[in-house]
Chain A
Amino acid sequence: MPEPHAEHAEHIGLAHQFEDLSQQHDADTFGIWLFLVTEIMFFGGLFLGYAVLRWLYFAAFDGGSHVLDIRLGAINTVVLLGSSLTMALSVRSAQTGNRRALVLFLTLTMILGGVFLGIKAYEYHQKFAEHIVPTLDWAPEGEVLARLAPGGLNHAELYFFLYFAMTGLHALHMIIGMGLLFWLIRRARRGSFTPSYFAPVEVVGLYWHFVDIVWIFLFPLLYLIGGRY
């Protein structure tokens, strides 16, 4: 029986429904972009809630923002941007067929993601220590109470609810991303990727950069409300 695409069987990673790797790569890339569009709307709902509540209760959001540690937020921004750089260099290493560099940059990306989550976990720990976790442990006192009281404690609780919902959903995306990176590192070590087949690296990279962009907006919106002068 004649096999029309028999010559393609030798290509690593080509699924049978595609003509060639280039077509498959385009389909893979378009697929992840469609997914990212749904993610824009997924996070968009939270950003919308943020916009409405911030407009209604600006004083409470201002107070809540001043309770956050701006240094930790800025450091985490730099860490995450660094991980985006190493992710972009991972894709580049896959394109040039440099397996050692690919594994190195993927590992660096994963480590930086871990550092980000570590700092985030420390910030969450601080919130529990200050009793400003909505519903679970909401009993601000001392200096924190003095910061939050002018805007109304109930409205400040709304701010912290959004803080945990938005950074929590973002952290969940990071955890999933790190799982994907682990999978990529294992495949890269086995030599699964070539300059003509690296779509998984590219697709995870696009996802990782998207998560980075979400944080690019979360940092000024959550940490920098109302100025520090």
Chain B
Amino acid sequence: MSHQIEPTKTYVTVFASLIGLTLLTTGVAFIDLGPFNTVVALVIAFCKMLLVILFFMHVRHSGGLVRIALVAGFFWLALLMGLTMSDYRTRTWTPPPQAWSNTAPPTHP
């Protein structure tokens, strides 16, 4: 493995971008975008994460082994989040079977 030495300028540029994105995400919180406020905040956070991972954590120059570990980590996090949230969010889609609620009629919005 070769140790690529980044110029100091690269790190300072990445840092300036990170500060810019922090100001942007704070500023956007004061503008009404409806449900997109959360989406924008998460997209900006994701971009900041990518900058840190690729440049500060040197993944730009890393080998396949490190990349596989990284992707696997996020894959498992996506499973954790995706499967749990799909359960919670779909529970109210169908009424419970009649036999389960013999005593009281099902109440659904």
Q: How many residues of B contact A (CB 8 A)?
A: 50
A87-B56, A88-B55, A226-B37 in contact; A216/B15 too (CB < 8 A)? no
A209-B56, A216-B49, A227-B32 in contact; A37/B25 too (CB < 8 A)? no
Q: List 5 A-B contacts (CB under 8 A).
A: A74-B22, A78-B22, A220-B42, A224-B26, A228-B29
Q: How many residues of A contact B (CB 8 A)?
A: 51
Q: Is B104 engaged at the interface, CB distance under 8 Å to the other chain? A: no
Chain A interface (Cβ < 8 Å from any Cβ of B): 22, 25-26, 29-30, 33-34, 36-37, 40-41, 44-45, 47-48, 51-52, 55-56, 70, 74, 77-78, 81-82, 84-85, 87-89, 92, 95-96, 195, 205-206, 209-210, 212-213, 216-217, 219-221, 224-229
Per CB-CB distance, the 6 closest pairs between chain A and chain B, nearest first, are A37-B73, A220-B41, A85-B15, A40-B73, A224-B29, A33-B69
Q: Is B8 engaged at the interface, CB distance under 8 Å to the other chain? A: yes
Chain B interface (Cβ < 8 Å from any Cβ of A): 1, 3, 5-6, 8, 11-12, 14-15, 18-19, 22-23, 25-26, 29-33, 37-38, 41-42, 44-45, 48-49, 52-53, 55-57, 62-63, 65-66, 69-70, 72-74, 76-77, 80-81, 84-85, 88-89
- Tell me whether chain B's interface is mostly helix, strand or loop, or mixed: helix
- 19 new A-B pairs (CB below 8 Å) besides A29-B62, A74-B22, A224-B41? A30-B65, A33-B66, A33-B70, A41-B76, A44-B80, A44-B81, A48-B81, A51-B81, A78-B19, A81-B18, A81-B19, A81-B22, A84-B52, A209-B53, A209-B57, A210-B57, A213-B52, A220-B41, A224-B29
Chain B contacts of A77 at CB under 8 A? 22
- Tell me whether chain A's interface is mostly helix, strand or loop, or mixed: helix
- State how many angstroms separate the Cβ of B51 from the closest Cβ of chain A: 9
The chain B residue sitting closest to A84, CB to CB, is B56
- State how many angstroms separate the Cβ of B37 from the closest Cβ of chain A: 5
Chain A contacts of B22 at CB under 8 A? 74, 77-78, 81, 219
- In whole angstroms, what is the CA distance A92 to B76 when docked? 32
